[in-house]
Structures are given as C-alpha cells and as structure tokens.
Chains A and B, each alone.
Chain A
C-alpha cells in the first residue's frame, strides 16, 4: 500500500484534537462520578425489604439495562425535550444518559458486593455490639468494595468507551472532532488511528494497573 502517511496533520490540528480529548475526559469524569452516585442511591432501594422501595428501583435498573446505550443517548436527545419541555444541550444529554446507563450497572455491582459479604462476619460485628450503621461503614462497605473491584473497574472502562456515543448527537468529544477533521482534511487514516490509539493508550494502562491492584488485594486479604 503506497499511502502517503502524514501524521503532521495531527500537530497542525492539535488545538481541535485537544479540545476533543478534554471534552471526552470531562464526559468520562462526570458520567463515572454520577454513575457511581446513581448506583449508590439505587443499591439500598434495590435491596430494601420493602417492596414499595425495591420495586421501582428494580424497574429502573431492568429498563436501563435493556436498552443499548446509543439508543438511550439518541432517545434522550430527541424525545425527552418533547415529553418534558426541557431541552438540555447535547453535552449534558450524553452525560446524563451515559451516567444512568452506567449507574444501573454500578447498582447491580454494588448489590452483588454487599450480598457476597459473609453473613458470619456481620454476625460477629453484631456480637461485639456494633450498630447497623457502624457495621455498614466498617464491615460491609469495605469488604463489598474489595470484592467488586474487578467488575467495578470493568464498568469504569465501559463508561470511558461509552463516552463516544455523544458524537452521534454532535457533542464535540474526540471521535466527533476526529470525524469532522477527517472529512475536512481528507486524512481519516491518521486522525481516526489517533482516536483509536487515544482510547487504547488510556484504557490499557488503567486495566493493567487495576489488575495488579486486584491481585494484590486478593493475595493480601483472601488467599491462603
């Protein structure tokens, strides 16, 4: 293939690409934080003994889990304003949709973590007279967190990947800016390769570090 590579193009348009990178990082940061908050709010409801709390939380989780995230983004962008009269800019629409989508997964991950805490460890805490709040804070949450590290980091990585969905509704994150630039410069190979490499070089170290931390935690607390 005698294609004439010109990676200089990236440097030429670095301002635009940098803006795209920044927007992507903002979407990721916000949607991971919001997703965790949503997950933390849904988990106790989902696990409640009262059907009146549990049922709506379960419904929300099942509904959002069943839709492809791109459909959520697009639906929120076009339909929510019609239904609610509330128009959000595309940027916020994608943040909210991606947060909700991750949030219901975080909720399920947190629940599995709490359920994985051995009953006996909670009984031991009761038997030294700890209150329910203290048991939650000192025993259940720390142990649940150690147990869910692999799925938790996996879900954070999914949130990074899902951030590109905003490009479908013209949010200027890295993929959208990359596509715009490709058509403008006729250099899709260089630019889209850069976009792909951006994600690979962001996510790969993250998952390697996460994997190392998980192994360390496991060796330290759980394996003989």
Chain B
C-alpha cells in the first residue's frame, strides 16, 4: 500500500508520560489511505493512550502527529511547541472521528439527534440535509428503525453502531476505534464487527485498538503490537500474529497460533 501514496496519518516519535511514568516511549508509524490498521497489545501497554493522543484527548509530551501533512494539536516547527488555536484543533479532531469503548452517546438526545449534532452545529448543515445524511448512515449500520429512540432504550451493540454513524457523519479522513467491542456482551460483539468490516470493505481508513484477534487477522491490512510503550512488531497480520519470532509476540499470540496449528493439523 505504501509506494508513491503519501500517508493520511504519520506519527513521529510520539512520547507521553504521566508524571514519572512513561507510557509511550517514542512511537512512529504511518497510516495510508484505505488502510485498516490494528493496534494490539495487553491492557496497560499504552494502546488507548496512543489512540487518544492522536486527537489530543491526551496531550503528548513530544513527537509529531501529521494529518495529511498538517501537524495536529501543536506547531512544533519552532523550538517551542505552540498549541494550535482551539478552532484548528476542533477541525482536526473531527477529521479523525473517534468511536469509544463506552459508546458515549449523549443520553438527552435521540439516536438521530446524536448523529446530526455535529453536522448541524459544527459543519453548519441544515436540519433537513443533516437528517437525510444521518438516515442513510443509520441504514448502513442497520439502525434506521431506532432513529427516534433515546440511547438508553438500545442494547450496547446498537448504541455502538449509532456511535459509528455519528462519527461517520463528520466525514472524517480516518476513523479511530478505541476498543469498540470491549464493553459489549459477547453476543453483541458480532453486529458491531460486521459494521466495521463493511466500512473496511468500503475503503474507510481505520485505526483500530482491539482485542478481537479474529477481526485483526481477517480485516486489518496491517497490525502493530504495542508492548510497554513501544511498537515491537508491525506488518501484515499473518506475519505479526502467526509467524513473528519475537518472544513477546509469540506469547501474546500463543492462543491464536495454537488454534491455527490445530486447524492445520486436522
């Protein structure tokens, strides 16, 4: 995918500390258009922090984040890092809309109101325009029949599909998924993964923090393994997940490798 294309997102030596604890110890990677990149690792490895640094929900201590060659959050071309004006950061944030582990739908708004809030208030679309667009997106995620319900009436899987529609409504350049299925009951995981699979097939650029190994293996173009704040492996899923000789990768993917071996043996 690399080649002549320039990356949508380019991360260069990103570092983040909380007090004396260094959570991200210099992360660099690129995401290219239409790529689906999986970010894997144990709890506490820094995956979510990394994702949240990208849209400045957490403020990284150093390093650069380039969204289509524009630096996100701060201007570090000078010696002193200068934060962008709030309006610039807000625009950059919506260009990489985020889907959260806990859905975070606004409980005082109906499903459709959740989806059109950004398009109407931020993009300045008319109600009718925004509603038409939102209904199309809700249809894509199979939620148009719940458009006028309040989020509390929906199952977790349904809420997450609405949250995906809400993020898509901002027409982002790429989508950030922060463990989108981790707080779902097991039987609800599949419906959310199916929507994400559809998005991937439609060519959406996605960066996905996940524990869903099968999804990473089958859908991602590339996976990265984060361990103690460093990217220790990155590449096509098969290489990283099944073939890597790195001992940490081998132990992290041991379960998956066992399954693969069994199915080959049978």
Task: With A123-B57, A138-B117, A221-B150 as known contacts, state yes or no: A128 contacts B167, CB within 8 Å.
Answer: yes
Q: B142: CB under 8 A from chain A?
A: no
Q: How far is the CA of A142 from the CA of B98 in the complex (A)?
A: 23
A127 neighbours in B (Cβ, 8 Å): 55, 57, 93-94, 97-98, 167, 176
- Which residues of the other chain, B, contact A128 by a CB distance below 8 angstroms? 93-94, 97, 117-118, 122, 166-167, 169-170
How far is A120 from B94 in the complex, measured between Cα atoms in Å? 16
- For chain A, the bracket of interface size reads 20 to 34
Establish whether residues B121 and A138, one from each chain, have CB atoms under 8 Å apart when the complex forms: yes
Q: State the CA gap A107–B87 with chains docked (Å).
A: 30
> A129 with B118: in contact, given A124-B100, A220-B150, A224-B152 (CB under 8 Å)?
yes
Is B106 part of the contact surface with A, judged by Cβ < 8 Å? yes
Closest to B155 in A: A224
Q: How many A-B contacts are there with CB distance less than 8 Å?
A: 79
Least distance between B15 CB and chain A CB atoms (Å): 22
A131 touches B86 (CB 8 A): yes
* A142→B113 CA distance, assembly (Å): 14
**Which residues of chain B have C-beta atoms less than 8 A from A80's C-beta?**
none
Q: How far is the CA of A161 from the CA of B95 in the complex (A)?
A: 53
Residue contact A120 to B100, C-beta cutoff 8 Å: yes
Q: Across the interface, which residues of A come within 8 angstroms of B122, CB to CB?
A: 128-130, 134
Q: Which of B86-116 contact A (CB under 8 A)?
A: 86-87, 90-91, 93-95, 97-98, 100, 102, 104-108
Q: Of residues 151 to 185 in B, which have CB atoms within 8 Å of A's CB atoms?
A: 152-153, 163, 166-167, 169-170, 176
Say whether B104 contacts A120, CB under 8 Å. Answer: yes
Say yes or no: A124 contacts B104, CB within 8 Å: yes
Residue of A nearest to B98 (CB): A127
Chain B residue nearest to A127 (CB atoms) is B98
Q: Mark A138-151, 1 if CB is under 8 A from B, else 0.
A: 11001100100000
Which residue on chain B has the smallest CB distance to residue A119?
B104
State A170–B55 Cα separation when bound (angstroms). Answer: 62
**Shortest Cβ distance from residue B27 to the other chain A in the assembled complex, whole angstroms:** 20
- Interface core residue of B86, B102, B166 (most chain A CB under 10 Å): B102
- Which A residues touch B163, using CB under 8 A? 124
Interface residues on chain B, number (Cβ under 8 Å): 31
CB distance from B231 to the nearest CB of A (A): 24
Minimum C-beta distance from A124 to chain B (A)? 4
Chain A residues with CB under 8 Å of B167's CB are: 127-128
CB distance from A148 to the nearest CB of B (A): 13
CB contact under 8 A between A131 and B90, given known A221-B150, A223-B152: yes
Nearest chain B CB to A120 CB, angstrom units: 4
Contact A146 B152 (CB under 8 A): no
Q: Does A121 contact B (CB under 8 A)?
A: yes
* A129-B104 contact, Cβ under 8 Å, with A138-B121, A222-B152, A223-B152: no
| Chain B residue contacts of A131, Cβ below 8 A | 86-87, 90
**Chain A, Cβ-Cβ closest to B166:** A128
Tell me the minimal C-beta distance from B125 to chain A in angstroms.
13
**A167-216 at interface with B (beta carbon < 8 Å):** none
Which residue in chain A gives the minimum CB-CB distance to B151?
A: A221
B165 to chain A, nearest CB (A): 12
A15 to B152, CA, bound (A): 53
How many whole Å from A131's CB to the nearest CB in chain B? 6
Q: CB within 8 Å of A: which of B47-89?
A: 55, 57, 86-87
User: How distant is A58 from chain B, measured CB to nearest CB, in Å?
Assistant: 26
What A residues does B102 contact at CB under 8 A?
Answer: 120
Could you tell me the distance between the alpha carbons of A130 and B104 in the complex, rounded to whole angstroms? 15
Q: State the CA gap A138–B107 with chains docked (Å).
A: 12
Counting from the closest, the 7 A-B pairs by CB-CB distance are: A129-B94, A128-B118, A124-B104, A127-B98, A120-B104, A129-B90, A129-B122
